[in-house]
Amino acid sequence: MYNTTFICDQETDCILDLNGKIAVISGGSSGIGFGTAKLLSLKGAVSVILDIDEKRGKKAVLDITALGGKAEFVACDVTRDSDCRLAIESIADTHGTIDILFNNAGVIRRKTVENLEENEWDMVVDVTLKGAYLLSKYTVPVMAKTGGGSIINTGSGWGLKGGEKAVAYCAAKGGIVNMTRAMAIDHGPQGIRVNSVSPGDIDTPLLHDEAKQLGQDDESFMEEAADRPLRRVGTPKDIALAVLFFASPMSNWVTGTNLTVDGGGLA
């Protein structure tokens, strides 16, 4: 099974240690993905960033290595089967294994079902839900062959309840949360844990783009987003810390679980 023994003298000193682990992060060039790639690398993992934006992905690698972490970039359109297969095969060939997969790539279109175009529905569902399926499809056999691993999917508070003018996003994120449970059942016997993290509003380019899509003033939009019990919008690090929990030995007996990280927004 994956990470069931500790190699440090003091368990509390090594329980979040990812030294030598290979972590694959989709949508890893910015926002939650970049924040997570950075944190996992600083905990000892090699963070392999998958993204469609090659320029931004390579910059993310430079930023992480400048901090002393280990990172690589692999260009990948998560909506394309061939891209996902070749990316995972390349990483497995280079490193011999994949220990952590963070299915994080996602997009949003703030429209009702009446106003949403078919191509917009396809884009949101394909990037968010199909991408997680494709990367998992090719990663699971690699993990199973090398003793297991941890898959973490990015859900959303709107995958647990409805949201205004976000029908495709809500559908895709609801699918992610239940897909997580199904995968945990299927692949637990192979030593693979599958969990999801559901963020609330996080200060990322994606959130600021929502304000533009809705035609709202950015400052007032962010103030409204901060209207929750902890009185602030989340940061990428808030979510990265939750992903670290699921990626590390601290969660060895946790699978099929969704962790809401939203400052109390759904409370």
All structural domains of the chain: 20-200+235-261 (3.40.50.720)
**CA dist., res. 82 & res. 76, Å (int):** 9
Task: State the average pLDDT over residues 162-188.
Answer: 98
Q: Which of 2, 133, 138, 169 is the catalytic position?
A: 169
Q: How big is the chain, counted in residues?
A: 267
**CA dist., res. 218 & res. 81, Å (int):** 36
Question: What is the pLDDT at residue 1?
Answer: 42
pLDDT band at 15 (very low <50, low <70, confident <90, very high): confident
**Contact assessment for residue 190 and residue 1, using Cβ atoms and an 8 Å cutoff:** no
In degrees and rounded to multiples of 5, residue 149 shows phi and psi of 175, -170
Task: State the average pLDDT over residues 5-13.
Answer: 51
Count of beta carbons in the 10 Å neighbourhood of residue 35: 23
Fill in the DSSP letter of residue 259. E
Torsion of CA 56, 132, 41, 39, to 10 degrees: 90
169 is known as an active-site residue:
yes
Entry pTM: 0.94
